[in-house]
Amino acid sequence: MDKRRVVVTGIGIVSALGTGTDKSWENLLAGASGTSTITLFDAGEYPVRIAAEVKDFNPEDHMEKKEVRKFDRFIHFALAASSFAVEQSGLDFDHVDRERIGVYIGSGIGGFRTIEEEHTRLLSHGPRRISPFFIPATIINMASGLVSIRYGAKGPNSAAVTACSTSSHCIGDSFKIIQRGDADVMIAGGSEAAITPMGIGGFAAMKAISARNDDPQRASRPFDKERDGFVVGEGAGTLVLEELEHARRRGAAILGEVVGYAMTADAYHITAPPPDGDGAKRAMEIAIRDAGITPDMVDYVNAHGTSTPLNDKLETLAIKRVFGDHIRHLLVSSTKSMTGHLLGAAGGLECAVTALALRHQVIPPTINYEFPDPECDLDYVPNEARKATIRYALSNSFGFGGTNAVLLFKHYAE
C-alpha cells in the first residue's frame, strides 16, 4: 500500500525575532539577532545575563485575560503559534471531521516560571496559598490540551518531552500518524519559556551557555572558532500537517511536504555526543532512506548548530559522514545564531524555518560567523541570506540524553 503523503499547510512562529511568522522570517533573512540583556528577571548577579527573549508578545492578543493568569508563558506561546498556523492553513473546523484532527505539542521544560513562583509562595505563605491552577499551568501536555480544546480537535493528542529534540519528535510522530491513516490533520510543534532564574542559573552552572554579556548580539555564533556556548531562547514553532488529498479537497495552499523522519539514540553520555557523531549520522541517514531518496538530492541542512564547541564540531563531522563528496554542494546554516536555542521548541521553530526556506527558495544565514574553525569547514551560509535551488532540506535536532530527531522536507510542486 502506498504511503499517504503529508504536506504543510500552516506555519506559526513566536520567537525573539518577532511574534508572528512573517515578522520572524523577515528578521531571519535580514540576519538580525534576538539576543539582548535579560529583562524578564533581575540577572545582575548571574554569570550569564543575556538571552533571546520574546519582547513584542502580549498574551491577551491570543487568549482572554482571565485565562492568561491561569497558565504559564510556554502555554501562551503555544496557543499563539498554533493560532498563526491554523489561520494560515485556512482550516474551517465547522466543515471538517474533528475526530480526524489531532494536536501534538511538546516542551522540554514546561512551566518553569510558574513552578518557581509557586514554590516561593509555598515557602513564604504555606501550602494553602498555592494556586489551584498550579498543576495545569505547568504540566507539559497542557499546551496540546488547550489547543485541542480551543479547536475541538478530538483526534490523537499527545506531547513529547525529549529535551532539545522535543518538537521535532512531535512533528515527526505527527507525520507518521497521518501517513499511516490515524488522522488527516495534526497541529504539531513545541513551545518553551525557560528564561527564568532557575533556567538561566542551571544552564550557567553547566557552563553550557555563552557569557558574552557585554556583546549579546554576537554571543550566539555557531561553527565560529570563538563560540563559547549557546544562548537560551524562548518562543514556539508549530506546523499544520495535513494529508495531501485532504488539503487538495479544501483548496488549501500547500507550503511544503514532509517526506522523511528518523529518531535515534547516542547511548553514550547525558550531554555530550559521541566522538564520531554516530547518533546524528544515523538519524540523517534513516530520514533520507525513509523518504526514498539519496543524500545527493538534499540541498540544505538546517543544523542543530547550538554554538557549543563540541556539538558544532561533531555535527559537522556527522554531516560529512552522511553526505560524502556531495558535501561540496551542500548548504548548512544555524538559525540559532539569531533566535537563540529554544530548547524543546527549537525543532518546531527550525522545521518551520526549513519549510519557509523551501517555500521561498532562500536560506537564512548563520550570523556572527567571523573566525573559521578548521574542524567546522562546511558552507554555513555566513552572515547573509542566500537564494538557492532547494529540492530537499533536513532539519536536525539533538537533545540531552543522546536523543536525536531529523526531519526531511521537500519543495512542493504539483
Active site residues: 164, 304, 341
What is the end-to-end Cα distance of the chain in Å, rounded? Answer: 22
Distance CA 400, CA 319 (A): 19
Q: What is the 8-class DSSP label of residue 297?
A: G
Query: Is there a contact between 71 and 146 (Cβ–Cβ < 8 Å)?
Result: yes
Cα radius of gyration (the chain)? 20
Torsion over CA: 368, 328, 301, 404 (sign) = negative
Distance CA 339, CA 195 (A): 13
Distance CA 6, CA 141 (A): 24
Query: Is there a contact between 370 and 356 (Cβ–Cβ < 8 Å)?
Result: no
Neighbours of 133 (CB within 10 A): 14
**The three grid cell numbers given for residue 388, joined into one nine-digit string:** 538557492
Task: Sort strands 298-302 and 256-265 into parallel, antiparallel or unpaired.
Answer: unpaired
Query: Is there a contact between 188 and 80 (Cβ–Cβ < 8 Å)?
Result: no
Distance CA 334, CA 347 (A): 12
Task: Sort strands 386-387 and 362-363 into parallel, antiparallel or unpaired.
Answer: antiparallel
Distance CA 72, CA 414 (A): 42
Phi/psi of residue 78, each to 5°?
A: -65, -45
Nearest residue to 88 (alpha-carbon basis) of 8, 162, 202, 192: 8
Nearest residue to 243 (alpha-carbon basis) of 152, 313, 155, 336: 155
Phi/psi of residue 271, each to 5°?
A: -130, -30
Nearest residue to 163 (alpha-carbon basis) of 202, 121, 211, 217: 202
Q: Measured over all CA atoms, what is the biggest interatomic distance in the chain, rounded to whole angstroms? A: 65
Q: At what angle do helices 278-291 and 309-323 cross, to 10 degrees?
A: 40
